[in-house]
Amino acid sequence: MDILGTVNHKIIHGDALEVLRKAVEDNSVDLIFADPPYNIGKNFNGHLDKWDKDEDYLNWCYEWLDLCIQKLKPTGSFYVMTSTQFMPYFDIYLRNKLNILSRIIWSYDSSGVQAKKYFGSMYEPILFCTKDKNNYTFNSDDILVEAKTGAKRKLIDYRKTVPTVYNSEKVPGNVWDFARVRYRMDEYENHPTQKPIALLERIIKASSNEGDLVLDPFLGTFTTCYVAKELGRNTIGIDLQEDYIKIGLRRLQLSTEHKGVKLLKEIRSFETEKLATANNLKLFEEPDGKRIHRKH
Ligand SMILES: C[S@@+](CC[C@H](N)C(=O)[O-])C[C@H]1O[C@@H](n2cnc3c(N)ncnc32)[C@H](O)[C@@H]1O
């Protein structure tokens, strides 16, 4: 286990189970967002997200779910994701230990693979749970969205004692439409399951306050800690892969180098073309097949 970053923004390179057990105090965290491997065969930098048996995956999940509960403050909130096929097990497991307040659907516009012989998956489930069903943070005013019904058509609600116009804003329901992170988006990082900034903004604004501690045991591209830091929260983030730890150090602007190597964002293919055009460069192929940009 390697603890990097600062006192307010700890980045821990290591296994989530070990780090949660040894490096995070019990009852100390205000908000946990956990987006683990889904056991569906994604490739995390050479580590295949697939367990031999479903039971093995679930038993591993039950271990870190219990640890997350142990680390949460009595007023804390827990958001957890997994694949559609495993979420029912999480739900049944957690409903005896926490209060499940919302079963959220993150719905998106296109699936990675266009299914032709079945209905493609266009959503991922999220559970929103609290330790105490009456005493928890929920900043509804910070996450209001446009109410698209009566207010838009300037209708008057005559059912009220004094007729009034409909509210133009409302607290979002449990179906959330956010685009998936795509290669051409500014926030894109090289990771197979990066979650959008907008999704984490809603969760962190609703369920934590400035100065609170936010923890993510499976950080990937560090979306959670990046957004939490921008919003003035303190953070602890964990990931097993050093390449993802390097993304975190750079994205949170905690370091410009790691082990003597500069932390630079990978330039995407369309950006090299843009840069070359701006610098009046042309693409040439060397005799050995190598491609280079040159003036002439
Ligand atoms: C679904 S991804 C998280 C994506 C992240 N929410 C984001 O927005 O980029 C899961 C992450 O868990 C990490 N991981 C897998 N097993 C782990 C373990 N035992 N301990 C810590 N991290 C682990 C993987 O390296 C991967 O980056």
Residue scoring higher pLDDT (240 or 147): 240
Based on the domain organization, do 165 and 89 belong to the same domain?
no
Question: Averaged over 103-130, what is the pLDDT?
Answer: 90
pLDDT of 288 over the 80 cut: no
What's the rounded Cα separation, in Å, for the pair 194 and 253? 18
Based on the domain organization, do 127 and 157 belong to the same domain?
no
Q: What are the pLDDT digits (tens) for 67-90?
A: 999 999 999 999 999 999 999 999
Kindly indicate the confidence band of residue 269, based on its pLDDT and cuts at 50, 70 and 90: confident
Based on the domain organization, do 162 and 229 belong to the same domain?
no
What's the rounded Cα separation, in Å, for the pair 248 and 120? 32
pTM: 0.90
pLDDT of residue 126: 98
Based on the domain organization, do 156 and 229 belong to the same domain?
no
233 within domain boundaries:
yes
Q: Are strands 9-13 and 234-239 parallel, antiparallel or unpaired?
A: parallel
pLDDT of 178 over the 90 cut: yes
- Measured at the alpha carbon of residue 205, what is the angle toward residues 200 and 206, in degrees to the nearest 5? 100
Residue scoring higher pLDDT (218 or 296): 218
Domain carrying residue 273 = 266-296
14 within domain boundaries:
yes
Alpha helix positions (H), the chain: 16-23, 54-71, 87-94, 197-207, 223-230, 242-251, 269-278
What's the rounded Cα separation, in Å, for the pair 95 and 173? 21
Based on the domain organization, do 188 and 282 belong to the same domain?
no
Mutate to test the pocket of ligand 1, among 80, 218, 246 (most ligand atoms within 8 A of CB): 218
- Measured at the alpha carbon of residue 212, what is the angle toward residues 189 and 75, in degrees to the nearest 5? 115
What's the rounded Cα separation, in Å, for the pair 147 and 169? 5
* Residue type present at position 221: T
pLDDT of 112 over the 80 cut: no
Greatest Cα pair distance, the chain, in angstroms, is 83
Based on the domain organization, do 247 and 224 belong to the same domain?
yes
Nearest CA to ligand 1 atom 2: 220
Of 36, 40, 37, give the one whose Cα is nearest residue 85: 40
Mean pLDDT, the chain, rounded, equals 91
Based on the domain organization, do 128 and 108 belong to the same domain?
yes
pLDDT of residue 95: 97
Q: For residue 44, report the distance from its CA to the centre of ligand 1, in Å.
A: 8
Is the CB–ligand 1 distance for residue 37 below 6 Å? yes
Contact predicate 143/172, CB 8 Å: yes
pLDDT of 237 over the 70 cut: yes
261 within domain boundaries:
no
Q: What are the pLDDT digits (tens) for 17-71?
A: 999 999 999 999 999 999 999 998 878 778 888 899 999 999 999 999 999 999 9
CATH of the domain at 26: 3.40.50.150
260 within domain boundaries:
no
Of 62, 18, 74, 33, give the one whose Cα is nearest residue 235: 33
pLDDT of residue 266: 78
259 within domain boundaries:
no
Residue 182 is encoded by which pair of tokens? 């795509």
Of 143, 104, 105, 141, give the one whose Cα is nearest residue 121: 105
What's the rounded Cα separation, in Å, for the pair 24 and 1? 13
* Range in 121-135, 158-172, 204-218, 243-257 with the lowest mean pLDDT: 158-172
Q: For residue 193, report the distance from its CA to the centre of ligand 1, in Å.
A: 9
Q: For residue 147, report the distance from its CA to the centre of ligand 1, in Å.
A: 35
Looking at the structure of the chain, the number of domains it has is 3
Is the CB–ligand 1 distance for residue 191 below 6 Å? yes
Kindly indicate the confidence band of residue 276, based on its pLDDT and cuts at 50, 70 and 90: confident
What's the rounded Cα separation, in Å, for the pair 15 and 199? 25
Based on the domain organization, do 123 and 178 belong to the same domain?
yes
The domain boundary, picked from 125, 152, 170, lies at 170
What's the rounded Cα separation, in Å, for the pair 200 and 221? 12
pLDDT of residue 296: 66
Based on the domain organization, do 144 and 129 belong to the same domain?
no
pLDDT of residue 197: 97
Hey, which residues does 170 pair with through a beta bridge? 145
Based on the domain organization, do 17 and 125 belong to the same domain?
yes
222 within domain boundaries:
yes
Kindly indicate the confidence band of residue 284, based on its pLDDT and cuts at 50, 70 and 90: confident
Inter-helix orientation angle 223-230/242-251, to 10°: 20
Based on the domain organization, do 62 and 160 belong to the same domain?
no
Based on the domain organization, do 120 and 25 belong to the same domain?
yes
224 within domain boundaries:
yes
pLDDT of residue 161: 85
What's the rounded Cα separation, in Å, for the pair 61 and 164? 49
103 within domain boundaries:
yes
pLDDT of residue 48: 82
Residue scoring higher pLDDT (114 or 203): 203
Q: How far is CA 43 from the centre of its chain?
A: 17
What's the rounded Cα separation, in Å, for the pair 16 and 1? 10
With 0-12 / 13-18 / 19 or more C-beta atoms within 10 angstroms meaning exposed / middle / buried, residue 65 is buried
Q: Which ligand 1 atom sits closest to the C-alpha of 238? A: 21
Q: What are the pLDDT digits (tens) for 131-177?
A: 999 999 999 999 999 887 766 677 787 888 888 877 789 999 999 99
What's the rounded Cα separation, in Å, for the pair 34 and 259? 28
